[in-house]
Chain A
Amino acid sequence: MKLLVCISKAPDTTAKISFKDNNTAFNTDGVQFIINPYDEWYALVRALEIKEGLGSGTVTVINAGGPENDPIIRKALAIGADDAVRINMVETDALSIAQEIANYAREGGYDMVLTGKETIDYNGSQLSGMIAELLDWPSVSLASKMDLNGEALTIERDVQGGKEIIEASTPLVISAAKGMAEARIPNMRGIMAARTKPLTVVEPISNQVFTKVRSYSLPPEKASCKYIDAENPAELFDLLRNEAKIL
């Protein structure tokens, strides 16, 4: 089975968020970048497990972005992906990225495309469904479990108030949420091997954009916290009812 895992770059979860150029761009000064956690912890590791379970197949990671993304792509190779592709473009909006990745997946004859549930910076939850629609493949979003038995896939996905157990088969696009796998830490051998694994750079086929960020803003500072005596916590409910008007 040929598996294609979409990985995106995201600011470290502790990064201080600030903006520049009159609040039109994210200020990356001093920001560390990581692989988006859902992509690394769940989509990539589950793809590797499937390949290991089958004893055959390949796991390719794909990223749309500039050369500054190469370190995170190498990390995915160190975790165990066989090879990598970078579509050399500025990450603009999801649909333009989806068009590129769908095109690559089609040409490359992949059986399954895996993405994370969402990126932790733009929180889009967009790419997976878009790739599927462009390929005219079925899609399962927010999957927290996926098992392969022969040709049949059994998938658990989150729905309102519970989970659906779905039977599916390839080709398929799937977005991975928590529960799908356990994160793996790359070992020394993996890190050494990653240096020589192929990372192919391809140029985008289109430069159409569909959305663009006009400006960013930060949430207003919270007014200071009002303390309630631990001996008389019931006062809290008075305040919630009469001051905050919430109960």
Chain B
Amino acid sequence: MSVLVYINNYGGKIQKNSFEALAYGKALADKLNTNVVAAMLGPAENPSELGAYGASEVFHNPSASFADHDPGAITKALSGMIEQSGAAVVIFSHDYTGKSIAPRVAARLKAGLVTGAIALPDTSGTFSVKKAVFSGKAFADIEILSDKKVISLLPNSFEYSKGEGSATVTPVNGEAEKSTLKVKEIKKESTKLSLTEAEIVVSAGRGLKGPENWGMIEELANDLGAATACSRPVADIGWRPHHEHVGQTGIAIRPNLYFAIGISGAIQHLAGVNGSKVIVVINTDPEAPFFKAADYGIIGDAFEVVPKLVTAAKALRA
């Protein structure tokens, strides 16, 4: 009846999202009076270290054949581990990898799946999980009716910490099932912070007038250790790359701190950022709708305000 957590070690490195998922799995296991096991595929340096994050046992198949990241092959290998461990609840992170594997695992297990969970399940009587719906405009409590249950945890919504302890490693053999998918190339978008993982995001919109004005935005982001983002029209006209587009039809993010500079605050934009803990809005128009969603506001011209913030941020760092 244990809880199994899928550990994503994409590129040989365990992702932060997986530590969150493991901490979530551990907290759930405590609630259910059981233990949490981790499942990991592909070469990894020190799987027993997962014990420090709550795992009592790690099922590890170190075969490099999983490098094609074929969701079908991963699902089959994972299903074997789920069976071996007798897990009743399977946890993923709702990151790129989790999005491609969790649904397959749920279908294979004939299990109900809740994606993007933001809190521990309510296990008093029924088993229900809370998630954001309508692009963050509301929440739903979703009951999982099947015996086996699959949950994926929204990144950045559960605290984890490194403790003591080491896990028993149970080696699992076998190659990834032959796949028709071949990864030909991995293109790193940039060496910069990934937007969904960044704790601070500096975002700008059409109010910046042109791509040549993003220097100060990048400087501010750099000084704050933040990632940069933008509104949709800015990506559509090619001022900024598409992967920076946040909102209902772009990426949804929930950093600790979000700066919206020269962005009006259209409902579709807000939908992707309203999970942010603190929102700062800088806009010339006191009537800009974004101020209604803001914690802190500066009514002013970005071209005057942002350089001052850059100076202040540098002073802060010094």
Contacts and interface: CB of A to CB of B under 8 A. Distances in A.
Given A19-B138, A98-B107, A120-B134, A233 B308 contact: yes
10 contacts: A13-B135, A123-B131, A130-B103, A138-B72, A138-B180, A139-B72, A142-B100, A159-B69, A165-B187, A230-B299
B64 interface: no
A37 B271 CA distance: 14
Interface in B277-308: 277-278, 280-281, 291-301, 304-305, 308
B88 to A, nearest CB: 14
A168 B185 contact: no
Contact of B132 (A37, A123, A139, A237): A123
Interface of A: 11, 13-14, 17, 19, 37-38, 93-95, 98, 120-134, 136-142, 144, 154, 157-169, 172, 178-179, 209-219, 222-223, 225-230, 233-234, 236-237, 239-240, 244, 246-247
Contacts of B113: 94-95, 124, 126, 130, 210-211
Nearest to A158: B96
B182 to A, nearest CB: 5
A132 B106 CA distance: 12
B110 A129 contact: no
A3 B114 CA distance: 28
Given A93-B112, A167-B181, A228-B297, A121 B141 contact: no
Contact of B298 (A13, A127, A227): A227
**Chain B residues touching A, majority SS:** mixed
A242 B115 CA distance: 35
Interface stretch (B20-28, B33-41, B42-50, B242-250): B242-250
B276 to A, nearest CB: 10
Nearest to B99: A125
Interface in B235-283: 242-243, 245, 248-250, 252, 256-257, 267-268, 271, 274, 277-278, 280-281
B179, B183, B224, B291, most chain A CB atoms within 10 A: B183
A210 B309 contact: no
A17 B138 contact: yes
Given A140-B181, A236-B309, A159 B72 contact: no
A217 B186 contact: no
Contacts of A211: 112-114, 142-146
Contacts of B308: 233-234
B266 to A, nearest CB: 9
Interface of B: 10, 15, 17, 69-72, 75, 94-97, 99-108, 110-116, 126, 128, 131-146, 179-189, 194, 197, 224, 242-243, 245, 248-250, 252, 256-257, 267-268, 271, 274, 277-278, 280-281, 291-301, 304-305, 308-309, 311-313, 315-316
Contact of B96 (A17, A142, A168, A210): A142
A179 B235 CA distance: 11
Nearest to A168: B181
Contacts of A165: 183-187
Given A225-B291, A234-B309, A210 B110 contact: yes
Contacts of A122: 133, 140
B140, B144, B189, most chain A CB atoms within 10 A: B140
A81 to B, nearest CB: 21
A244 B99 CA distance: 33
Contact of A141 (B100, B126, B128, B142): B100
Contact of A159 (B17, B126, B186): B186
| 9 A-B pairs with least C-beta separation | A230-B300, A129-B103, A210-B112, A234-B312, A133-B107, A211-B112, A141-B100, A133-B104, A130-B107
